[in-house]
Amino acid sequence: MKLTTLGLALVVAFLLSELVTISNGISTSSLQQISSDSKYLTKEEHWFNQTLDHFSPYDHRTFGQRYYEFLDYFRFPDGPIFLKICGEAACSGIPNDYLSILAKKFGAAVVTLEHRYYGKSSPFKSLTTGNLKYLSSKQALFDLAAFRNFYQESLNAKLTRSNIDNPWFVFGVSYAGALSAWFRLKFPHLTCGSLASSAVVQAVYSFSEFDKQVGESAGPECKAALQEITQLVEARLASNGKELKALFGADELRNDGDFLYFVADAAVTAFQYGSPDKLCIPVVEAKKSGEDIVNAYATYVKEYYIKTFGVSVKTYDQENLKNTAVNGDTSDRLWWFQVCTEVAYFQVAPMNDSIRSSKVDTRYHLDLCRNVFGTGIYPDIDATNLYYGGTKIAGSKIVFTNGSQDPWRHASKQTSSPELPSYIASCHNCGHGADLRGCPQSPLVPEGDAKNCSSPDAIRKVREKIVEHIDLWLSQCQDLGRSSM
């Protein structure tokens, strides 16, 4: 850690002398060095007792919720606190993406709270449908609010002060980006502002725009190749499905709908996460040379999507999604429950000119929800959009960002206004969360380096706007001596 001012050196001396641990709170034994794993700022776990049901005055049960803190760049004692929201996956630490650059620039502490039920933050020992009743975005937002106040009070106790608020700012990508926007919407007094990166704020029932964007991002040649692959896959599935599934390394997917969803999703990933050439170059070359284009695509799926990207085929198996045990990675069952109850985002084939199989339709998704979670489970998207506003969200001091090639951007807010600015980073491989993650968007690039983006300048311009908004909104908070305005 490099400290460039005498003031920061004094901070280090002070914190090293304060060997104190707040009960059920913040460990302040020393400033921590960046994790030896360059992908994370820290992986040191902390725990917080969270309320199970924020909407019941009678249920006082709690559960342990995991969180992380990173203080190396914190401008002690009045610097801002950046709350990086974890979304629909286990949270293994604080990622070393562009947020680390922002934290250093603004002298911010960074804290991250794992989403309820995911990772190690499960309230129950079994994930039955009945036990999932407390898994929702609404409960998660109250989790964040309760944690924010807990952390602020713990910091104040450590500093022997009271009724003082550091300026807070929330960040998130994808579903966590939506939570970031919704947190500012519902709790404006608890944060100075929000960065909602690739924030899917609009619940969508039949999300055909998703597939249309995949086609646009692919370009004419690659799109035509992918459409031909889909046609050939459907034909071979009907004639010799067992052999075809083996070719893709997906023998375990006995449900043909699950297999077709898997085949479609493998292509989506290339555009969503900033690696279009890994898919398009081999399939277009195979088509031009008259080679077996399905074989070429199957090679991409096995070598990149499964082996390099790390996707497990079983995550597409509905029988696997029925597993209620809390062991291993439970994220797929948990996220499908949120999909099947709140947001849908059913990635269906458009009526015309689709890339994915027309068999991946609304009925497939509804059948999955019923098969995995039981009868009566379906997404009430009208209630979700009524509660949050969808793309007509009426909040303030939320900056929305999206990547031009990302199919998810059609569930985000893409129109800009003074209180809700929106920016799109446009480049050949600008995908999901490109403003924070750089290129490619996965696997993680340390500090969100944009040098491998086809247009690093496109990312730089969006980041300049982000910095301007954070700077302005934090200064307005500090002028008022509170976390909101």
Active site residues: 174, 406, 432
Give the separation between CA 324 and CA 328, rounded to whole angstroms.
11
Q: Which residues contact 479 (CB under 8 A, 6 or more apart)?
A: none
Beta bridge partners of 171: 84, 195
Tokens describing residue 23: 């009960």
Which long-range contacts link 155-158 to residues 24+ away (Cβ below 8 Å)?
A: 155/26, 155/81, 157/22, 157/25, 158/18, 158/20, 158/22, 158/26, 158/28
Give the separation between CA 450 and CA 454, rounded to whole angstroms.
9
Give the separation between CA 389 and CA 194, rounded to whole angstroms.
16
User: Given the DSSP bridges, would you call strands 81-85 and 168-173 parallel, antiparallel or unpaired?
Assistant: parallel
Q: Which residues contact 438 (CB under 8 A, 6 or more apart)?
A: 97, 98, 445, 447, 448, 449, 450, 451, 452, 453, 459
Whether the bond into 95 is cis, omega within 30 of 0: no
With CA atoms as reference, report the closest residue to 319 among 247, 261, 378, 258: 258
Which DSSP string do the residues of 103-114 spell out, in sequence order?
HHHHT-EEEEEP
Beta bridge partners of 425: 403
- Sign, CA dihedral 17-20-26-27, equals positive
| Burial of 9 (C-beta count, 10 Å sphere; 0-12/13-18/19+) | exposed
- Sign, CA dihedral 137-140-144-149, equals positive
Beta bridge partners of 206: 346
Tokens describing residue 81: 């606190």
Tokens describing residue 390: 């969808």
